[in-house]
Structure 1
Amino acid sequence: MSTRVLICDDSKIARKQLARVLPTDWSIEVEFAEHGQQALDMISATPFDILFLDLNMPVKDGYETLDALRSFDQVPAVIVVSGDIQPQAIARVKEMGAMAFHKKPASGEDLRALLLSLGLFSETEQVSHPSSQRNDINAAEQFTLNECLQEVSNVAMGHAAKVLANMLNVFIKLPVPKVNIIEVSELQMALDYSAGEENVSAVSQGFVGSGVAFESLLIFNDSSFPDMATLLHVSEKIDSVVEVELLMDVSSVLVGPFIDAFGKQLNIDFSHSHPELIAQHAKVSDLINAKKAAWQRTLAVEIVYEVENYQISCDLMLLFTEESVPVLENLLSYLVEEE
């Protein structure tokens, strides 16, 4: 009898990648859900044996899905597969009923070992007609640049959050990365929405490698400084000099690990400029006006990091040059094919 497997992830790429690394000698029937609510509806309608669950998703995320499963009579074995590798995230999902955690991107060898250790898969299983049971897992599928870049950014985001979480001993709330080609006016609207009426401070840094060039822009709401100082054990008065030091410290921790994980997935070593303070206690419109000529139309990745139980929010944006877009499309399409 086949094992019924449900893979729940908002990323088509992640769903395909995970399905492809499941043991080929495992008799399974695989189905897919795009978010937690869809997974819950499917589990309510028909039993599943195993649920592979992402954490950062729209509609209902992984935590909300695990919480909802507590009220179910029949619950599948849950393995969380996520780019959020914060120790607190791993501990939380296990406390909420997940059997195990596996980091993205999953490797076939590691996943096989995990399934064997959990007793969910046996190497003595006999597989008949695996292609039909797997519902065309390996069927050709096209992915957009936005979808590919979002998944790569999602994994990189988790690495950066882990470093910051360990440094501050906090839990970082992670969103689904937003990827769009936008005009500079749309960029201002996006940042206005994030910052609200507050003034902001911003640190910029340039990166280039293998034909890909972009600027990282880390924007802090001014209300974040007191709690940032508390978490970093800064006891002196918070003046403009201390604020710049705080900005640079957090910027190096968030941006450095993100770019490192981002580059490793693309097999690129990025060289970089020194971080530069480009705004302090400024309106978003002033920040945009100062850089308007340089940005114009750009491919943007946006990630909003929030620290749980603290009034700290920062917006990380990667702004790629137009010339980088076809290079990225090439690199990311090759990455998908390799998966």
Structure 2
Amino acid sequence: MSTRVLICDDSKLARNQMARVLPTDWDVEVEYAENGQEALELLSASAFDILFLDLNMPVKDGYETLEALQSFSQSPAVIVVSGDVQPKAIERVKDMGAVAFHKKPASGEELRTLLISLDLFSADINNAQPAVEIVTAAEQFTLNECLQEISNIAMGRAASVLAEMLNVFIKLPVPTVNILEVGELQMALDYSVKAESCSAVSQGFVGSGIAFEALLIFSDSSFPDMAKLLGVTENITRELETELLMDVSSILVGPFMTAIGKQLNIDFSHSHPVLLGQHVTIADLINVKKATWQRTLAVEIVYEVENYQISCDLMLLFTEDSVPTLENLLSFLVEDE
């Protein structure tokens, strides 16, 4: 009898990659859901044996899905597959009923070992996996989809470093990817930062024909709690704020860029971080770099620290000339999956 498997992830690329690494000698029937709500509807309609569940999704995320499954009389074995590798995230999903956690991108060999250890799969050379609907042409994935997924993985790596250092839990969003004119960029930042004044650090990166700027924007209301978490007890001066900005920027941006570079197989060189603005409006920040940011491919991630008034917005702003090279690199990445 076939094992019924449901793969739930908002990323088409991630769903495809997950299907690819399932054991090829597994008699399995695979279906897909793009978010937790879709998964719950499918699970309500028919029985599945295993659910591979992402955490960061729109509509209903992985945590909400796990919570809803607790009221099901019969639910599948849930294996969370996520880029969010924070120890507290792994602990939470297991407390909520997940039988295991597997980091993105999933490894075929590691997944096989995990499934065997959980008694969810046993090798049978007489069973061949039936046809699984997998997108094989790289052009089926858009630049935005590919960049969003590798950013999602990098986001989780960076958050884990910060979470372990500060002993906190970082709430992670779904990264957004858009090509924006400078006016649209200001509107996007106004919407996500939601603060009358903010401070920002900027750092440039370049490698293999790709150039971009990493912009980390902090709401000024974040400074007191940032200082508390970093063990700073003295009065918060502008000089101390600058030190805090640089420290947190290094903690977040460094691991993020390492994870991006590893996925793209690029060693990025970088400039020193610089203070772009302090206690300024988003409009002021945009004006500083208006000539540079006429039209840019933007990746945006909003990090929030649970139970603290700390929020920062990380944006990667790629030059327009970098887009064709990035598309080419990402197409090879998909083909290698």
Q: Classify the secondary structure of the residue corresponding to 1:310.
A: coil
Distance 1:336 1:197 in 2: 38
Q: Which residue of 2 aligns with 1:302?
A: 300
Q: Which residue of 2 aligns with 1:5?
A: 5
Q: Which residue of 1 aligns with 2:134?
A: 137
Q: Deviations over 1:203-247 (max 9, x none)?
A: 000000000000000000000000000000100100101000000
Checking the alignment, whether the CA contact within 8 Å between 2:55 and 2:84 is kept in structure 1 is yes
Q: Which residue of 1 aligns with 2:126?
A: 126
Q: Displacement of 1:330 after TM fit?
A: 0.3
Checking the alignment, whether the CA contact within 8 Å between 2:150 and 2:260 is kept in structure 1 is yes
2:227 paired with 1:236: no
Aligned residue runs from structure 1 range 251-290, under 5 A: 251-290=249-288
Q: Which residue of 2 aligns with 1:115?
A: 115
Q: Indicate the larger mover: 190-199 or 99-108.
A: 190-199
Q: Which residue of 1 aligns with 2:81?
A: 81
Consecutive unaligned residues in structure 2, runs of 5 or more? none
2:319 paired with 1:332: no
Distance 2:126 2:275 in 1: 61
Q: Classify the secondary structure of the residue corresponding to 1:4.
A: strand
Q: Classify the secondary structure of the residue corresponding to 2:179.
A: strand
Aligned residue runs from structure 1 range 158-177, under 5 A: 158-177=156-175
Q: Displacement of 1:123 after TM fit?
A: 1.2
Q: Classify the secondary structure of the residue corresponding to 1:106.
A: coil
Aligned residue runs from structure 1 range 181-220, under 5 A: 181-220=179-218
Q: Classify the secondary structure of the residue corresponding to 1:101.
A: strand
Distance 1:195 1:317 in 2: 11
Where does structure 1 differ by over 6 angstroms across 4 or more consecutive aligned residues?
none
Checking the alignment, whether the CA contact within 8 Å between 1:27 and 1:126 is kept in structure 2 is no
Distance 1:126 1:333 in 2: 35
How many residues of Structure 1 are paired with residues of Structure 2 in the alignment? 336
Q: TM-score, normalised by structure 2?
A: 0.98
Q: TM-score, normalised by structure 1?
A: 0.98
Q: Which residue of 2 aligns with 1:41?
A: 41
Q: Classify the secondary structure of the residue corresponding to 1:131.
A: coil
Q: Deviations over 1:239-287 (max 9, x none)?
A: 1010000000000000000000000000000000000001000011011
Distance 1:192 1:144 in 2: 27
Instruction: Calculate percent identity across the aligned residue pairs.
Output: 76
Q: Deviations over 1:310-333 (max 9, x none)?
A: 000000000000110000000001
Distance 1:205 1:152 in 2: 20
Checking the alignment, whether the CA contact within 8 Å between 1:26 and 1:126 is kept in structure 2 is no
Distance 1:125 1:39 in 2: 31
Checking the alignment, whether the CA contact within 8 Å between 2:27 and 2:130 is kept in structure 1 is no
Distance 2:204 2:49 in 1: 47
Consecutive unaligned residues in structure 1, runs of 5 or more? none
